[in-house]
Structure 1
Amino acid sequence: MNRLFSSAILAVLLSGIFACSSSDRKLPIYGERTPVEKEIDGKKVVDTVYQTIPDFSFLNQDSVQLTQDFFKGKIYVANFFFTHCPSICPTMQRNLLKAYEKYKGNEKIAFLSHSIDFKYDQPYILKDYANKLGVDNDQWQFVNGSKADIYGMADRYLVYAKEDANAPGGYDHQGYLVIIDPDKRIRGAYDGTDQTQVNKLLEDLDVILKEYK
């Protein structure tokens, strides 16, 4: 999917702001889906296989390899940033910090920020950035990896990111905060620079926590 989260998908996401907040509401599932024919009790039925986040291994702020095992059984919010970003990142990360502070200590919620600056954002840089931001436990992970791995992973999260010498700081990217469920599926994306969207993220995290309680 080019320029991830196309206008059609984004329209659905934005419409969720006005959706009712009934106690049985569940978040939709986003991404590609494939119909698969199965046989159950002798009858053929069509099931749906949803796009999931593939296995990964990145170096985190503590110089430790972080894999998907860390997020097993957890709901997590992922995004893409870089530490010296002069445009959307400061606002996006401060807004994500609100979610971190709200759910701090909740073992069912985690956060994952991928640096798209594979050249500069080494673990000690990420560690210093996390400390200055106010992150003081391992609930929020900051990771870096090769250009191919990080940018390929951005595609899987449906977030646009690329090197661009003409962009502020040398990188062009979207500021989406993406909810991933314990089944590795995309359940929502929110503009991390928009306070209304961030408030919606906080509401929807409460909703999905009820689904996986």
Structure 2
Amino acid sequence: MNVANKITIARLFIPVVFLPALLGGMPYGHTLAFVLFVAGTATDWLDGYLARRYGMTSDFGRLMDPVADKVLVSAALVGFVVAQPAIVKAWMVVAIIARDLLINGLRLLAMQHHEVVAADTIGKHKTAWQMAGILAVLLYSAYQDFAPKLAQPAADWVGAHVPPILSILFHAIVVLTFVSGGRYLWKYRKLYMRDV
């Protein structure tokens, strides 16, 4: 097994530590969760770079790399429902994960017909905004580890204003998720209509 694939496998285990850090109430747990997610994002870039640069691409990597990404992102979203319920609602997480499962199913169907469902511009924007939203919520969560040590007026201001802004951001991400998913389903409708 090459180095790129080993990094991908290691990323699969990040949620095992990430979720307890986010939800477990340990000292500076939110900060640890933020660091772990950033590390997971960095290893996603690293294994892809190594695979391309040194010819380490493999069927295993092509299959497991997106799986590792989805596991980490899903862990963060599900964790937010418990850790930051004022920002991320359960229905938002269900919508985002359901869309991803639907599009992954479409990709599997495309593979059976020897076609490829390529990521389009809106899909890439959805992914970028989703990652930005997750990092923003994790950064706010990490801030909460240090909030008791800050001046009270500043902590009160952040606590009053940041969660509503992040909630609006996640509502926008859900809208983008639906638009992106709808475009995929329309663009590749022949794939599933031919089996109806």
* TM-score normalised by L of structure 1: 0.25
What TM-score results when the alignment is normalised by the length of structure 2?
0.27
Higher helix share: 2
